[in-house]
A and B are shown apart, each in its own frame.
Chain A
Amino acid sequence: MAGGTSRRWSRTVRGPLGVTAVVLLLAVLLLTVFAPMVWQTRADAVHPAEILQGPSGRHPAGTDLLGRDILARVLVATRLSVELALAATVLGVGAGLLLGAAPVVLGRRAGRWIGAVINVAVAFPSLLLALFFAVVFGVGAKGAVLAIGLATAPGFARLTQTMAATVAGRDYIAAARIAGVGRIRILLRHVLPNIAEPLVVAATLAAGSALLAFAGLSFLGLGVQAPAYDWGRLLGEGLAQIYIHPAGALAAAAAVILAAMAFSLTGEVVARAIGLRSAEDAVPAARTAATPPRPAAAAAEIAPLLAVENLRVTFPVRGGQISPVREVSVQLRPGEAVGIVGESGSGKSLTALAIAQLVAAPGRVDADRLEFLGADLRGRGAAAHRRLLGTSLAMVFQDPMTSLNPTHRVGHQLAEVVRRHQGADRRAGWARAVDRLRAVRIPAAERRARQLPHEFSGGMRQRAMIGMGLMAGPALIIADEPTTALDVTVQREVLRLLENIRTADSVGLLFISHDVTVVAQVCERVLVMYAGRIVEDLPSAALLGDARHPYTRALVAAVPGMATDRDRPLAVIPGRPPDPARLPSGCAFAPRCPLATDVCREQDPPPAAYDDGRRVACHHADLAPVAVAPQETTAGRDQS
């Protein structure tokens, strides 16, 4: 852990941002300490003969009204500017910390009052607060320090309060409290150390803001008073002369900006260094799989609703590309229900999105054939067939809670389909939407249509999604785990609804699920996916008793039935599906397969056609069906 942190530190600090921040901050601090020693006399030397000169070799940034060297004055002013800004920051952070931590010490009731005060104060911009306090504390450097400090405090207090409240809710604080540890001790020993890092970042950023605020107040004439000078004053003096020679104002402005950036960049760098590491662990170069043999030629084509051959989805990753879906071929007749099953990560959802041409960039979909109702969807085909897809292809997604737009009324989201694609007017679209909501058995459809999705229950939202798909009379419904997020009784309703639609209007259904039993109930044919490929294609009647692929049998065996012996551990498939970036050579299932032999580990089995249209991709598919012995739940879990 410590190693990770320090590595992150060094990586962040060595980056271009880190180097810039460190160099700027060092320069500012060095100037703060040494500039007055080196350039003070030069900055104060009055040369009546050299008043208001432009930049020259002798005076790189020109001279002011008294002929003093502006560059020297800007450099010397570093000390006062930075000192005052830091003083204001210390004051503001201290006051903010006290206010923000007070609720931990004083208890809930006092905490609520302090919170209310902070809330009121935070509502006002800090510059206005600073102006207010500048009036109270009087014009001048001291007043400005107090003003800016107190103006910083509310924001810092809010931050402290929020974070302290989060930490204070954790178990170890509760434990300490029960153990009788005093509140102040809890604050100092347990709360503050845990929120110290973000507070340090915020304080660094606050120093940058204080510097800018101070420049602002001095510029207005409310901060540092003559004869003392900081950057803000120099800026004000320079602005008055900006038409005669702008170097004075620009030099002061540049100093303020650079110094403020030194602080804010440092804060940024520290924040990144201690922040969460971005999850960008290098993915090893992906295997580019060899072009697979064409699967058995499609049999007896009676006007397929959907014809997919050799579908592949690729994503670029660092140093190569991965293909989470490969060699997928599917045929669907009108009114047919085909299921795709597999573990999560097997590529079944991606297959659904790829068929619907909804894979987002940078993902890429290739296929030898991808036809829907006779239209070729490959390449830019999907864009050309926008209306066809919008009306005849319906999608139902897994999570109804997030699949509807939270800011649009449900009825509007349905009506949109026919309004965009069939030119229906507002009223006709709305009437159709209400009608479809009624068709998916949403009670009081008229009223419900006017509601927002969050007013619907999960089951109702999923029915509304299905209703959306029914708006324009679809030919195919692709349902991606449509019941997974629902509870069991609602599941049954949604399944029955899909079944009714399918049989009534002879709508094709591509049903994706990890649940073998549900797929067996709903579908006529089942495709079993593993590691992005279809490993078995079989009638669902054969699924429970007559599956050929060991993976299919393992999936079936993993389903607990009523007869499952509760005293024995649940059957699971040992190990985990392979990472698409690191597919094993040979059969992808071999490492987890009880029947695997050497040939499995060397050669990827091509799908072989069997009688009744079945296809199996397994070297051992001809072996008599063997019951897979249930494995211990824990076995092979650590293998990855």
Chain B
Amino acid sequence: MTALAVRAGRRSRLGDNAWVRFAVRRTGQLLLSLWVLVTAAFLMIHALPGDPVRAALGPRAPLELVQQRRAAMGLDDPLWLQYAHYLGNLLTGDMGTSMTSGLPVSQVIGARMGATVELALLAFAVSVLVAVPLGTLMAVLAGDGRRRAGDWMFTSASVVLATVPEFLVAVGLVFVFGVQLGWAPVAGRSGPGSYVLPVLALALGPALVLARLVRVEMLAVLQTDYIRTARAKRLPSRVVYLRHALPNAVTATLTMGGLMLGGLVAGTVLVENVFAWPGLGGTIVGSILAKDYPTVQGVVLVYGVGVLLVNLAVDVALAVLDPRSVIRES
């Protein structure tokens, strides 16, 4: 009995109860959000003013065709039955058929999702890779009481730049690097060079905001008693900053970064449109304008699930890095 307890204690840093409670609570949250998302996507078509099929086919389409399509989509069934069908189809991966191309929506999304995911992940990686060293460096310099001017310039520049939304950054980058300098391609996805500007446009704002956050968090952590303890142990500065301070500073950064990753996913919509990137961003705008509602529904769902998964990943990462957060919540 005791041996068992000891082994359990070894395996997890906390009592297993807290982890189980955490997993149950977090899964519950995810399922609730998923349900809300799916239901909202379903109701979206029914909340539209007028008949979506008529809207998609245009006012001149013959009545027969409209009725045929409505029947094919099951729009004449009672709402609950449609809902049940919708949920059932989703479970088998069927997201309906595009009204403009006639292709299955899942196929349309499958063809384009990779480009968007790539863009979002690259931009996130770049912003974190820039933000953590930059913010740490600024904190270390500020903590030493040196380079006041540099610190001030960094703070104000990051405040101003971070208010500029990614699609305007994108326009600026197109102008400077595409039009003026001609260094990088500004449209499409062809070769590694074409990633540079879209990723930069997406990453710049988040990188600066995160760097500022890392700086503030690091400054706070550097004032703590346990950093004094680490210094009293005469550890090398590198170890004090990177091993002792940074892990304590990243929790807030990670939370914020996770929230921003959600925003970054949304930001791809605009940036993809600036750079004619062949991802979901172009698809959703095009299908909204073409009133291709099944496609819109599918893409909205994919974006929503993406954001939920990102949030889940952030929470799990947070729990692993800082086990206290699990206890604190429960």
Are A450 and B9 CB-contacts (below 8 A) given A208-B163, A356-B232?
yes
Contact assessment for B269 and A246 in the assembled complex, using a CB-CB cutoff below 8 Å: no
A128 within 8 A of B: yes
Instruction: Kindly identify which residue among A215, A389, A409, A447 contacts B6, using a CB–CB cutoff of 8 Å.
Output: A447
29 intermolecular pairs with C-beta atoms under 8 Å apart: A125-B263, A127-B267, A127-B269, A128-B307, A135-B300, A208-B163, A216-B165, A216-B167, A219-B270, A221-B289, A222-B285, A235-B168, A253-B171, A257-B163, A358-B231, A390-B233, A393-B232, A399-B225, A403-B228, A403-B229, A404-B226, A407-B321, A420-B234, A421-B234, A450-B9, A451-B13, A452-B323, A454-B327, A465-B229
Instruction: Write out the residue numbers on chain A whose beta carbons fall within 8 Å of the beta carbon of B273.
Output: 219-220
Contact assessment for B172 and A253 in the assembled complex, using a CB-CB cutoff below 8 Å: yes
B311 within 8 A of A: yes
- Complex Cα spacing A494 to B172, Å: 64
Instruction: Kindly identify which residue among A136, A215, A239, A416 contacts B274, using a CB–CB cutoff of 8 Å.
Output: A239
- Complex Cα spacing A465 to B160, Å: 45
A520 within 8 A of B: no
B174 within 8 A of A: yes
- Complex Cα spacing A235 to B172, Å: 12
Beyond A128-B300, A402-B224, 4 additional contacts (C-beta under 8 Å) are A128-B303, A136-B47, A257-B168, A405-B248
In the complex, per-residue mask of A358-375: 1 if CB is within 8 Å of any chain B CB, else 0 = 101110000000000000
Chain A residue at smallest Cβ distance from B262: A125
Are A128 and B167 CB-contacts (below 8 A) given A120-B36, A136-B47, A139-B289?
no
B266 within 8 A of A: yes
Contact assessment for A125 and B285 in the assembled complex, using a CB-CB cutoff below 8 Å: no
Least CB distance, B45 to chain A, in whole angstroms: 9
Instruction: Write out the residue numbers on chain A whose beta carbons fall within 8 Å of the beta carbon of B163.
Output: 208, 257, 260-261, 264
Are A127 and B171 CB-contacts (below 8 A) given A136-B44, A395-B229, A403-B228?
no
Contact assessment for B10 and A450 in the assembled complex, using a CB-CB cutoff below 8 Å: yes
B308 within 8 A of A: yes
Instruction: Write out the residue numbers on chain B whose beta carbons fall within 8 Å of the beta carbon of A126.
Output: 266
A637 within 8 A of B: no
Instruction: Write out the residue numbers on chain A whose beta carbons fall within 8 Å of the beta carbon of B143.
Output: 360-361
Contact assessment for A250 and B175 in the assembled complex, using a CB-CB cutoff below 8 Å: yes
Instruction: Write out the residue numbers on chain B whose beta carbons fall within 8 Å of the beta carbon of A250.
Output: 171, 175
Instruction: Write out the residue numbers on chain A whose beta carbons fall within 8 Å of the beta carbon of B6.
Output: 447
Chain B residue at smallest Cβ distance from A408: B244
Contact assessment for B179 and A246 in the assembled complex, using a CB-CB cutoff below 8 Å: yes
Instruction: Write out the residue numbers on chain A whose beta carbons fall within 8 Å of the beta carbon of B288.
Output: 131, 134-135, 139, 222
Are A132 and B300 CB-contacts (below 8 A) given A387-B234, A420-B236?
yes
Instruction: Write out the residue numbers on chain B whose beta carbons fall within 8 Å of the beta carbon of A465.
Output: 229
In the complex, per-residue mask of B263-305: 1 if CB is within 8 Å of any chain A CB, else 0 = 1011101100110000000001100110001001000100110
Chain A residue at smallest Cβ distance from B239: A420
Least CB distance, B10 to chain A, in whole angstroms: 6
Instruction: Kindly identify which residue among B225, B236, B248, B324 contacts A397, using a CB–CB cutoff of 8 Å.
Output: B225
Which residues in window 403-452 of A have CB below 8 A to B? 403-409, 413, 416-417, 420-421, 447, 450-452
Chain A binding site: helix, strand, loop or mixed by DSSP?
helix
- Complex Cα spacing A260 to B303, Å: 27
B79 within 8 A of A: no
Contact assessment for B324 and A406 in the assembled complex, using a CB-CB cutoff below 8 Å: yes
Least CB distance, A551 to chain B, in whole angstroms: 29
- Complex Cα spacing A104 to B36, Å: 25
Contact assessment for B174 and A407 in the assembled complex, using a CB-CB cutoff below 8 Å: no
Contact assessment for B229 and A397 in the assembled complex, using a CB-CB cutoff below 8 Å: yes
Contact assessment for A420 and B233 in the assembled complex, using a CB-CB cutoff below 8 Å: yes
Least CB distance, A512 to chain B, in whole angstroms: 14
A476 within 8 A of B: no
Q: Would you list the 7 A-B pairs with minimal beta carbon distance, nearest first?
A: A390-B234, A125-B266, A127-B266, A395-B232, A402-B225, A362-B145, A405-B226
Instruction: Kindly identify which residue among A131, A136, A361 contacts B48, using a CB–CB cutoff of 8 Å.
Output: A136
Contact assessment for B266 and A128 in the assembled complex, using a CB-CB cutoff below 8 Å: yes
- Complex Cα spacing A390 to B235, Å: 8
Least CB distance, B106 to chain A, in whole angstroms: 19
Instruction: Write out the residue numbers on chain A whose beta carbons fall within 8 Å of the beta carbon of B322.
Output: 406-407
A273 within 8 A of B: no
Instruction: Write out the residue numbers on chain A whose beta carbons fall within 8 Å of the beta carbon of B232.
Output: 356, 358, 393, 395, 397
Instruction: Write out the residue numbers on chain B whose beta carbons fall within 8 Å of the beta carbon of A555.
Output: none
Contact assessment for A120 and B32 in the assembled complex, using a CB-CB cutoff below 8 Å: yes
Chain B residue at smallest Cβ distance from A421: B234
Interface size class of A (residues with CB under 8 A): 35 or more
Chain B residue at smallest Cβ distance from A122: B259
Least CB distance, B234 to chain A, in whole angstroms: 3
- Complex Cα spacing A136 to B40, Å: 10
Contact assessment for B49 and A403 in the assembled complex, using a CB-CB cutoff below 8 Å: no
A256 within 8 A of B: yes
Contact assessment for A397 and B228 in the assembled complex, using a CB-CB cutoff below 8 Å: yes
Are A124 and B226 CB-contacts (below 8 A) given A132-B40, A389-B234, A447-B9?
no
B75 within 8 A of A: no
Instruction: Write out the residue numbers on chain A whose beta carbons fall within 8 Å of the beta carbon of B175.
Output: 242, 246, 249-250
Instruction: Write out the residue numbers on chain B whose beta carbons fall within 8 Å of the beta carbon of A387.
Output: 234
Contact assessment for B300 and A386 in the assembled complex, using a CB-CB cutoff below 8 Å: no
B144 within 8 A of A: yes
B65 within 8 A of A: no
- Complex Cα spacing A330 to B236, Å: 28
B68 within 8 A of A: no
Contact assessment for A220 and B235 in the assembled complex, using a CB-CB cutoff below 8 Å: no
A138 within 8 A of B: yes
Contact assessment for B234 and A220 in the assembled complex, using a CB-CB cutoff below 8 Å: no
- Complex Cα spacing A116 to B119, Å: 32
Chain A residue at smallest Cβ distance from B308: A123
Contact assessment for A256 and B168 in the assembled complex, using a CB-CB cutoff below 8 Å: yes
B33 within 8 A of A: yes
Instruction: Write out the residue numbers on chain A whose beta carbons fall within 8 Å of the beta carbon of B234.
Output: 386-387, 389-390, 420-421
Least CB distance, B204 to chain A, in whole angstroms: 14
Which residues in window 18-54 of A have CB below 8 A to B? none
- Complex Cα spacing A138 to B32, Å: 27
Instruction: Write out the residue numbers on chain B whose beta carbons fall within 8 Å of the beta carbon of A399.
Output: 225
Least CB distance, A99 to chain B, in whole angstroms: 15
- Complex Cα spacing A64 to B96, Å: 41
B111 within 8 A of A: no
- Complex Cα spacing A127 to B202, Å: 14
Least CB distance, A508 to chain B, in whole angstroms: 16
Instruction: Write out the residue numbers on chain B whose beta carbons fall within 8 Å of the beta carbon of A253.
Output: 168, 171-172
Contact assessment for A235 and B171 in the assembled complex, using a CB-CB cutoff below 8 Å: yes
Contact assessment for B229 and A420 in the assembled complex, using a CB-CB cutoff below 8 Å: no
In the complex, per-residue mask of A485-526: 1 if CB is within 8 Å of any chain B CB, else 0 = 000000000000000000000000000000000000000000
Are A417 and B229 CB-contacts (below 8 A) given A216-B167, A246-B179?
no
Instruction: Kindly identify which residue among A208, A212, A264, A361 contacts B144, using a CB–CB cutoff of 8 Å.
Output: A361
- Complex Cα spacing A397 to B9, Å: 29
Instruction: Write out the residue numbers on chain A whose beta carbons fall within 8 Å of the beta carbon of B48.
Output: 135-136, 138
B129 within 8 A of A: no
Instruction: Write out the residue numbers on chain B whose beta carbons fall within 8 Å of the beta carbon of A135.
Output: 44, 48, 288, 293, 296, 300
B164 within 8 A of A: yes
Least CB distance, B51 to chain A, in whole angstroms: 13
Are A242 and B13 CB-contacts (below 8 A) given A131-B300, A260-B163?
no
Chain A residue at smallest Cβ distance from B287: A135
Instruction: Write out the residue numbers on chain B whose beta carbons fall within 8 Å of the beta carbon of A571.
Output: none
Least CB distance, B200 to chain A, in whole angstroms: 16
Are A125 and B265 CB-contacts (below 8 A) given A219-B270, A405-B230, A452-B323?
yes
In the complex, per-residue mask of B134-148: 1 if CB is within 8 Å of any chain A CB, else 0 = 000000000111100
- Complex Cα spacing A222 to B228, Å: 55
Contact assessment for A125 and B307 in the assembled complex, using a CB-CB cutoff below 8 Å: yes
Instruction: Write out the residue numbers on chain A whose beta carbons fall within 8 Å of the beta carbon of B58.
Output: none
Are A242 and B179 CB-contacts (below 8 A) given A139-B288, A402-B224?
yes
Instruction: Write out the residue numbers on chain B whose beta carbons fall within 8 Å of the beta carbon of A239.
Output: 171, 174, 274
Chain A residue at smallest Cβ distance from B146: A361
Instruction: Write out the residue numbers on chain A whose beta carbons fall within 8 Å of the beta carbon of B244.
Output: 405, 408
B88 within 8 A of A: no
In the complex, per-residue mask of A220-253: 1 if CB is within 8 Å of any chain B CB, else 0 = 1110000000000001000100110010011001
